[in-house]
Structure 1
């Protein structure tokens, strides 16, 4: 799966996971929205959840910016927009925070859900804490990857968000 990042450059360069992915040739950075190829856009404001039904796409796109400046307008990129389901961050900055993933975590989750588990593991292997994200989210990632569509993903997510 090809990974592309609409790179805003407003995060700390030392902690920027998108830049590190680019250094390892695991993702391509784009400064302009026009240069980003169409693909599944990981968008926390999307109305549909990412699911294995989106696996026919071969491009995954993320927006790399600070959570403080992320807004719906920034995600105006071509392609179907999909939200990642409930997962918790494993990175040192947002550890344990639900839905607050950094770029590499979002890509790894997307790859895993779309059936590219080995690619997800390769991405996370570049970070000291990468195994933590995969361990924290092992069960939900496996369950999401076994869903048929967005509706099933949302049903599984509800078991984590609103357990009874």
Structure 2
């Protein structure tokens, strides 16, 4: 699966996981919506959850911007918009916070759900905390990857939300 990033450049370049992935030729950065290819767009505001049913796509797109911008950012990218289900951040900035993933974590979570765990591990291998993301989210990622469609993913997610994220 090809990884592409609509890159806003409004966060700390030293902490930017999208830039690091691009340096390792693991993702391609795009400065405009027009330059960003069509694919599955990871969008926290999407009405459909990402599921294994989306695995037939070959392109995964993330918007890289600060969380302050993400709330008001216009997700006007062409593609199939999908929201990631409940996952917990492992990065040092948002450790333990649900739904506050950085770009590398979003890609890794999506890749696991889409059945590409080895690709997810490769993405996360570039970060000291990368293995922790997979450890923290091992059970939900396994369960989401076993779902048939978005409806099942949402049902599994609801179990985590009802439990307050506790297992």
Asked whether the two chains share a fold, i.e. TM above 0.5, the reply is yes
After superposing the two structures, state which structure 1 stretch, 63-72 or 10-19, moved more.
63-72
Is 2:29 aligned against 1:34?
A: no
What's the Cα RMSD here?
Answer: 1.0
**Aligned twin of 1:75:** 75
- Secondary structure of residue in 1 paired with 2:88: coil
Q: Deviations over 1:111-153 (max 9, x none)?
A: 1100110000000000000011110000000000000000000
**Aligned twin of 1:97:** 97
Deviation at 1:73?
4.3
- Secondary structure of residue in 1 paired with 2:159: helix
Alpha-carbon distance between aligned partners in 2 of 1:140 and 1:153, rounded to the nearest angstrom:
10
TM-score of the aligned structures, taking structure 2 as reference length? 0.96
**Aligned twin of 1:51:** 51
Q: Does structure 2 retain, via aligned residues, the 8 Å contact 1:50–1:84?
A: yes
Q: Deviations over 1:61-95 (max 9, x none)?
A: 00000001113542110111000000000000000
Structure 2 unaligned regions, length at least 5: none
Q: Does structure 2 retain, via aligned residues, the 8 Å contact 1:45–1:72?
A: no
TM-score of the aligned structures, taking structure 1 as reference length? 0.98
**Aligned twin of 1:13:** 13
Alpha-carbon distance between aligned partners in 2 of 1:42 and 1:129, rounded to the nearest angstrom:
22
How many residue pairs get aligned? The number is 164
Moved over 6 A (4+): none
